[in-house]
Structure 1
Amino acid sequence: MSFSLAHTKFNKRTINQLLVATVLGVSASSVAFAQTAGKAADKKPANASSAPAAADSAPVSNIKIGFVNTEKILRDSAPAKDAQTKIEGEFKKRDAELQKLASTLRTKYENFDKNAPVMSDADRTKAQRELSDLDTDLQRKRREFQEDFNRRRNEAFSGIVEKANAAIKNIAEKENYDLIVQDAVTVSPRIDITDTVIKALDNGK
């Protein structure tokens, strides 16, 4: 793989913007209760029984949570791999042209560096201007290539994101998940359902 395509990655921030956390079955009041349960316990009457408090907090402790690694989905799922291969094919010709232009610039610079001591001032100035123009053209084309590549990739992966969201929602409903998140500091493999989502995408691609 050549330089331009090999160094093109899908930005994590873009992934997080595309694939939002799927939240099912948890009402606003339940979330509010989870955040204030401790304060409510402190304010209860001295003669109040502890049984009702235990009963109230039980639903919170039984919440079923899942985790989805969005980067892995957009890297390892079959639809993502197919899209990546297709896009790289679309940009292969432009990428080769960039490599050719970079090679030409490198050769001209090496020749200039070798011959500069014996060149006239006029020829040296002309050669330097040509090298500068070639470098400017190369940088512009690289920038345009990267922008077009990223735009095309985002378009293709948006469709995969929609399918992934649908798969996550379907899994959550079938397996009674209350909350599925996509970002966390640390995650137990026990609640990671990424492979399940990838399998659903692969089967439905």
Structure 2
Amino acid sequence: MSKKITIAIILFGTLFTIQDAFAQVKIGYTNPARILSTLPEVEEVDNQIEALINESDAELAQKATELQKTFTDYESVMNTLSEQERSAREEELMALNQQFEQDRESMMNQIRQRRGELMRPIIEKMNVAMQEVAEELGLDLILNEGTSSGDAIVFFANSEQMNITNRIIEKIK
């Protein structure tokens, strides 16, 4: 019996120690998307990416026009071709279409990669400011109001005082 009481006292004491440790954690929250939207550097990145997209779109449009002409040319002569010739041309057309899709995907990846490269120093700047604000306020943890793609997450803050977004914006500028 005394063994059970001893275990219960140890568990009870451990529970209060854990609860006390969590009660001392200072938490803040922020909205990185809002922070980034206030920075002129992000607008410059968006302009560069838009120019890259326009350039890529023009190149893809030219390739699409050429591909469409090749398909049209095939359709106009396909009834005059033998079964073997038709089969060979259709395989060639499928390969050209697949190459077009690969080029399109490659361009999209290049755009995403370039945006990441351009945003990296801006994100780092934001993270440094966030760390400085956390140190100034003695915060142990900073939560994000949303996901990296901007989707809302289940989030509740009892006090707006925990929102450090404006302090981070001030620190960055």
Q: TM-score, normalised by structure 2?
A: 0.64
Q: For residue 132 of structure 1, report the CA deviation from its aligned partner.
A: 2.6
Give me the whole-angstrom Cα distance separating, in 2, the residues matched to 1:142 and 1:169: 39
Bigger CA radius of gyration? 2
| 1:81 aligned partner | 43
Compare 156-165 and 90-99 and name the one that shifted more.
Answer: 90-99
May I ask how many residue pairs the two structures share in their alignment?
153
Give me the whole-angstrom Cα distance separating, in 2, the residues matched to 1:68 and 1:149: 28
| 1:186 aligned partner | 154
Q: For residue 168 of structure 1, report the CA deviation from its aligned partner.
A: 0.5
Q: For residue 65 of structure 1, report the CA deviation from its aligned partner.
A: 1.1
- Please say if 1:67 is aligned against 2:38: no
Write the letter of the residue equivalent to 2:164: I
Q: Is the 8 A contact 1:172 1:178 kept in 2?
A: yes
Q: For residue 64 of structure 1, report the CA deviation from its aligned partner.
A: 2.8
Q: Which of 99, 105, 109 is 1:147 aligned to?
A: 109
CA RMSD of aligned residues (A): 3.7
| 1:105 aligned partner | 67
Extract unaligned runs of 5+ from structure 1.
Answer: 1-38, 45-52
Listed one character per residue, the Cα deviations across residues 153-195 of structure 1 (whole Å, up to 9, x for unaligned) are 2211111111011111222233343321337852235334345
Q: For residue 69 of structure 1, report the CA deviation from its aligned partner.
A: 3.7
Residue identity (%): 21
Pick closer, same or farther for the CA change 1:104–1:192 going to 2, 3 Å.
farther
| 2:131 aligned partner | 169
Give the alignment of 1:118-137 within 5 angstroms: 118-121=79-82, 124-125=86-87, 127-137=89-99
